[in-house]
Amino acid sequence: MLAGAIVLGLVAGLAAGGSIWRLASVRIAYVWMIFGALVMRAIVEFGVGAGWPVPEPARTALLTVAYGFLVVGLAANRRYPGFLLALVGVLSNGIVILWNAGRMPVWEPSLLAAGFTVGDVSPALHVLLPGTLDTSFLLHLGPLSDVIPIPLPVVRNVASIGDVFIAAGLGTFLFAAVVGHPAWLDEAPTPAAPPAAAGGRATLRLGAVAAGIAEMSEAAALPRARLLGGLGGGPSVSAERAAPSIGRRVLRHPYVRLALNGDFSALWVGQLVSFFGDRVNQIAIVFLVLGLTGSPIAVSAVFVAAFLPSLLLGPVAGAFVDRWDHREVMVVSDLLRAAAVLLVPAAATVNVLLVYPLVFLVTSITIFFRPARTAVIPRIVGDDELVTANSATWIGETLADVVGYPIAGLFVAFLGSALALAFWLDALTFVASAILIATMAIPPVVRAAGRASVGVRGVIEDLREGWRFLRSESVLLANTLQGAIAQVSVGTTIALTPVYAAQVLELGQLDASTTYALLETAVGVGNLVGGFLVGLVGMRFARGRMVILGFVLYGACTAALGLTGNVPIAIGLMAGCGVANMVYVIPSQTLFQERTPQELMGRVVSFRFALVTASMSAAMAVAGLLAAGIGISTVLAISGLVTLSTGLAGLLTRSVRAA
């Protein structure tokens, strides 16, 4: 895996117009410490494998020193893209190896799935974990061990979560170093601004672990480079002329600029990892509940439990998020979600009904995380990168849908009766996200003094303040009302697509479930394409006109779905819905980030989300009732026309048209 990451990073960098000689100009702090740690670890493992008489205490002590040096060296260089990912991986592997007295545990089912036998495992270097998930598995930190089978002939292996992070970090660093100009790498970092918020509002302190992570990060945080160490500007004119033209174009590409922004890439990678874990969790919990109850109603109740917090707690969560430090909100949210997810399999064995409050709890915590993330993005990217940053965020979530669901399905099927491992894996992704976010250097929000009331009356006043701002901001209010009406077709398609696939489309050789999967995949592909395109060209167009275009396109595609029974045409129309979704979602989010004061961001965004979600929920409920009376195709056509008309009506409203 590491060799593949090295090759991929170098090849991608060279293909982008980079030069291998730029690696020689990279100045890495404490390189002797990193190199010495790697040599020490290699000597210890070689000696133990060769049968050298190394006492157990000495072996553990040497490995502890080696991993300690690695952690310090990587942390000192975390301003370089990729080093932070590698740091998370080294911490993960180091903890599990030292916990197991210098040996990496290997899960037997993964070993066999990769094409190895039990005899291939060296007891001097590894601990073999049986297929059963019992107390022994947890005591050996099994979820952090080698549990990912790689059955490919050339790179056959069994990897750990830490290996994945190390490989991703190494590949990212090599790509950035090969592409980036040496002058950027030579810049010394400057101290970060103190992150404490001005004014007297209370900050979030929910546990010593989260506070410790955040405070350690405050003490050591460096403002990571926008472009590999450059805190602004770019290369000199002479350096730019010397670089290959393709290299200059690559470095100016909006997505490359974001990838080389250490703070944004830490947030994006942490979210991507968490999104993949969520997909594994979702499929696992569905099969867990279905296996225990055999009831489709019990399964649907899981989604209801996950949906309710958005309606009940959204604006209130926004009010608290605006009071607290946004980075701490995200770190604590990730740690709390990790703890809640860990409890799911244990709760299910006691009583399946206990699963539902845990699902409700995880979603409720997520409601605090999302507005904090939305508020942070404008503070870590440039104004001219905001649309692309929002696009990249949505692309990450959509990528988890398109790629994550199939992988999650295979993984859950592979686990079989060991389904609890899926929830432990999801918990680990939350912890990894928390570590990445904790090291971000985020400029503080300057809040008005004298607003430190934390009682119920203070929260109510905060809610009123957020609503007053939204009501008085004509552009954002118009966007919210337009979205609440126009997105009824989104709720309609979500509710009716499974039945549409089974009862309306002419399936031919396909069955209804396969057709439904193809339709949903088409939406995901459309989201990817739309998100990528908006990220590339979105800054060139007015936000309001893009929102209008997105609603018109979504409405037209939805109405057309009601007029066809042809499967390929329906798949194409669903892909069009996916593209349209990104065309109106990304500019809408950008409008709120651009026009809302930072101290009000959580409340205002949460109000909009609650109103639009309520509209979509009502549409889901009404769509089923109407479909039973007037037919699925008619309901789809009507809802599509409503969305199309609402989009066109934006042309008649100046606050929408000129936004």
Q: What is the DSSP string of 519-548?
A: HHHHHHHHHHHHHHHHHHHGGGS-HHHHHH
Q: What percent of the chain has pLDDT over 90?
A: 3
For residues 541 and 488, state if they share a domain: yes
Question: Shortest CA distance to 558 belongs to which of 504, 493, 511, 479?
Answer: 493
| Least reliable range by pLDDT among 351-355, 510-514, 545-549 | 510-514
Question: Shortest CA distance to 462 belongs to which of 604, 345, 342?
Answer: 604
Contact (Cβ atoms closer than 8 angstroms) between residue 363 and residue 310: yes
Q: What is the mean pLDDT of residues 160-175?
A: 81
CA atoms within 13 A of residue 61's CA, in its CB half-sphere: 5
Strand partners, 129: 107
Residue 242 counted as domain residue: no
Which is it for strands 104-107 and 126-129: parallel, antiparallel or unpaired? parallel
Please state, in angstroms and as integers, the Cα–Cα distance from residue 76 to each residue in 1, 189, 194, 217, following that order: 25, 11, 19, 12
Distance in angstroms (rounded) separating the CA atoms of residues 399 and 112: 29
Please report the pLDDT score of residue 180 as a whole number.
Answer: 63
Q: What is the mean pLDDT of residues 533-547?
A: 78
H/E stretch holding 105 reads: strand 104-107
Per-residue pLDDT band for 249 (boundaries 50, 70, 90) equals low
Per-residue pLDDT band for 153 (boundaries 50, 70, 90) equals confident
For residues 50 and 150, state if they share a domain: yes
Sequence-separated (6 or more) residues with CB below 8 Å from residue 265: 81, 172, 258, 259
Residues 377-427 have pLDDT tens digits of 888 887 777 777 877 887 777 777 777 666 766 677 777 667 787 888 888
Number of domains the chain is built from: 3
Residues 559-584 have pLDDT tens digits of 998 888 888 898 899 899 989 988 88
- Tokens 């990060």 correspond to 217
Residue 190 counted as domain residue: no
For residues 356 and 272, state if they share a domain: yes
For residues 434 and 555, state if they share a domain: no
Structural domain that includes position 119: 2-169
Strand partners, 230: 227
Distance in angstroms (rounded) separating the CA atoms of residues 621 and 601: 30
- Tokens 């696009």 correspond to 391
For residues 419 and 549, state if they share a domain: no
Distance in angstroms (rounded) separating the CA atoms of residues 225 and 74: 16
Residue 294 counted as domain residue: yes
Strand locations in 425-570 (E): none
The backbone torsions φ and ψ at residue 147, rounded to the nearest 5 degrees and listed phi first, read: -125, 0
Distance in angstroms (rounded) separating the CA atoms of residues 82 and 257: 14
The string of DSSP codes covering 309-363 is HHHHHHHHHHHHHHHS-HHHHHHHHHHHHHHHHHHHHHHHHH-GGGHHHHHHHHH
Domain end residue (candidates: 169, 197, 214): 169
Tell me, yes or no, if the pTM score tops 0.85: no
Distance in angstroms (rounded) separating the CA atoms of residues 179 and 250: 8
Q: Helix, strand, or coil here: 128? A: strand
| Residue 400 C-alpha from the chain's centroid | 8
Domain end residue (candidates: 169, 185, 220): 169
Distance in angstroms (rounded) separating the CA atoms of residues 112 and 129: 12
Please report the pLDDT score of residue 513 as a whole number.
Answer: 59
Per-residue pLDDT band for 557 (boundaries 50, 70, 90) equals very high
Question: Shortest CA distance to 413 belongs to which of 511, 515, 280?
Answer: 280
For residues 369 and 511, state if they share a domain: no
For residues 139 and 277, state if they share a domain: no
For residues 377 and 481, state if they share a domain: no
Residue 74 has pLDDT above 60, yes or no: yes
Residues 329-360 have pLDDT tens digits of 888 888 899 888 888 888 888 888 888 888 88
For residues 266 and 162, state if they share a domain: no
Residue 217 counted as domain residue: no
For residues 584 and 491, state if they share a domain: yes
Residue 250 counted as domain residue: no
Residue 631 has pLDDT above 80, yes or no: yes
Residue 457 counted as domain residue: no
- Tokens 């989010």 correspond to 589
- List, in sequence order, the alpha helices (H) in 77-160: 83-99, 108-113, 135-139
Residue 558 counted as domain residue: yes
Please state, in angstroms and as integers, the Cα–Cα distance from residue 254 to each residue in 251, 389, 455, 533, following that order: 8, 9, 44, 11
For residues 438 and 477, state if they share a domain: no
Residues 280-317 have pLDDT tens digits of 777 778 778 877 877 666 766 776 777 778 777 776 77
Contact (Cβ atoms closer than 8 angstroms) between residue 495 and residue 619: yes
For residues 492 and 629, state if they share a domain: yes
Distance in angstroms (rounded) separating the CA atoms of residues 95 and 89: 10
The residue type at 494: I
Domain end residue (candidates: 140, 169, 198): 169
Please report the pLDDT score of residue 553 as a whole number.
Answer: 93
Residue 585 counted as domain residue: yes
